[in-house]
Chains A and B, each alone.
Chain A
Amino acid sequence: MTAAIEPIVGRYLHLDYAGRHYRIYFESAGEGMPLVCLHTAGADGRQYRGLMNSAPVTTRFRVIAFDMPWHGKSSPPVGWQDEEYRLTADAYTGLIMAVIEALGLDRPVVMGCSIGGRVVLHLALRHPRAFRALIGLESSAHVDPYYDTGWLHRADVHGGEVAAGAVSGLVAPQAPPADRWETLWHYMQSGPGVFKGDLYFYGIDGDVRGEIGRIDTAQCPLYLLTGEYDYSCTPEDTLAVARAVRGAQVTIMKQLGHFPMSENPALFLSYLEPVLADIAARG
């Protein structure tokens, strides 16, 4: 028998925010500059376990990943059974700021993927001085619809099966099978309607095309990394953000798709390292 314990520690944060009580699960690993990681729609913070188990990262950064309410091991708020979950730009940005404050994090780096990659653009607009840097993975200002999200939440279709099927092609063909299927497993485990509710932000409420020209990278550096196989947030979508935001630094990642940190952690880390080194050098 062999056994090993990872350095990741998980805890629960109780948070009163916007008139509701939340029990939020978060994991952390490492010491140093705080690096808050935001998961994709319909998934949870496990997507960042490769990053949190990477010693070259955790010797310089305190990596923190929390599950949004309704996701992973975070509870939905009391009364959830009588409402339809829909993520809005105001609620999303507000909750991120509340968690950062509650955890006592001083000007963290925030890195988000997909909806998380979108919300960092909102954070850059609303709170540019609150962060040392922002990193948008699979970050676009908007997304064109390509399937009816109504299929994601109906009693006659298994939500986990359809969610995994809907995103399966967003994983690059080169992803190691174990990482591909773990990424899809996260989607299979999402609660009813949660993925669909997140996509309300991704597809409708979080459209930020008209505003990103006001992002000031002199106040907060912005890094954008997008996988070449991502047809949800396409490389061209990210390049459009980079053209609109003066000073944004963009990397198109070969052999990666929409979930770089979980579908192929080692390859993703090779792309992330220069970004982290740049941020660490800025102090």
Chain B
Amino acid sequence: MGGAALAVELEGLESRLAALPDRVNGDAVLLRRGRYLNTTAQLDFGEASVLLRIGDGRIAELQRNPSVMPSADFAIIGEPAIWRRFLAADPPPGDHDLFAFLKRRELRVVGDLHPLMSHLLYWKGVLAHLRDAPR
């Protein structure tokens, strides 16, 4: 699935993804939190996906819609309608945190979860930047 489909299903996501590396890499507090983190994470928005390659806490590479056989340590997976709620500017109670979506099985995390669980506050900060970036 191409980038156009992503834009249709999750309005503003493309611009927010484009802004994400600078936002994360310019966040000194977040970089300190993730300073020992080296991993590749995948965000799945329905059939579309994004690979985030993290080096010492910085987003070294953001690859949109990787081709066949993308390789990541772990992935956060959800349908676009779920991500739309998760990324809403002022989410209502219950839509305001990753774990709330995991509890309802609306988002799933799969793979080797060590890079996620050992750096939970870092990843919640990254996702907050994705939510708060200009759309």
Contacts and interface: CB of A to CB of B under 8 A. Distances in A.
Interface of A: 144, 146-147, 151, 156-158, 161-162, 164-166, 168-170, 172-173, 228-229, 231, 234-235
A157 B114 CA distance: 8
Nearest to B117: A151
B96 interface: yes
Contacts of B93: 172, 228-229, 231, 235
Interface string B91-135: 001101111101100000000011001111100100000000000
6 contacts: A156-B114, A164-B121, A165-B124, A168-B121, A169-B97, A169-B99
Please list the 3 inter-chain residue pairs (A to B) with the smallest Cβ-Cβ separation, ordered nearest first: A165-B120, A169-B97, A146-B103
Given A228-B93, A231-B100, A169 B124 contact: yes
Nearest to A157: B118
A133 to B, nearest CB: 27
A161 B118 contact: yes
Given A144-B103, A147-B102, A169-B100, A234 B94 contact: yes
Given A169-B124, A228-B93, A162 B100 contact: no
A166 B99 contact: yes
A231 B103 contact: yes
B26 to A, nearest CB: 20
Given A146-B99, A146-B102, A146-B103, A162 B120 contact: yes
Contacts of B94: 229, 231, 234
A166 B120 contact: yes
B contact patch SS: helix
B120 A168 contact: yes
B121 A165 contact: yes
A231 B94 CA distance: 6
Contacts of B102: 146-147
Contacts of B121: 161, 164-165, 168
Contact of A157 (B96, B99, B117, B124): B117
Contacts of A166: 99, 120
Contacts of A146: 99, 102-103
A189 B121 CA distance: 16
Given A146-B103, A229-B93, A231-B103, A169 B117 contact: no
Interface in B74-97: 93-94, 96-97
Contacts of B124: 165, 168-169
Q: Which one of A147, A166, A231 has the greatest number of beta carbons of chain B within 10 Å?
A: A231
A73 B102 CA distance: 34
A165 B128 CA distance: 14
Contact of B97 (A151, A231, A235): A231
A253 B77 CA distance: 32
Nearest to A166: B120
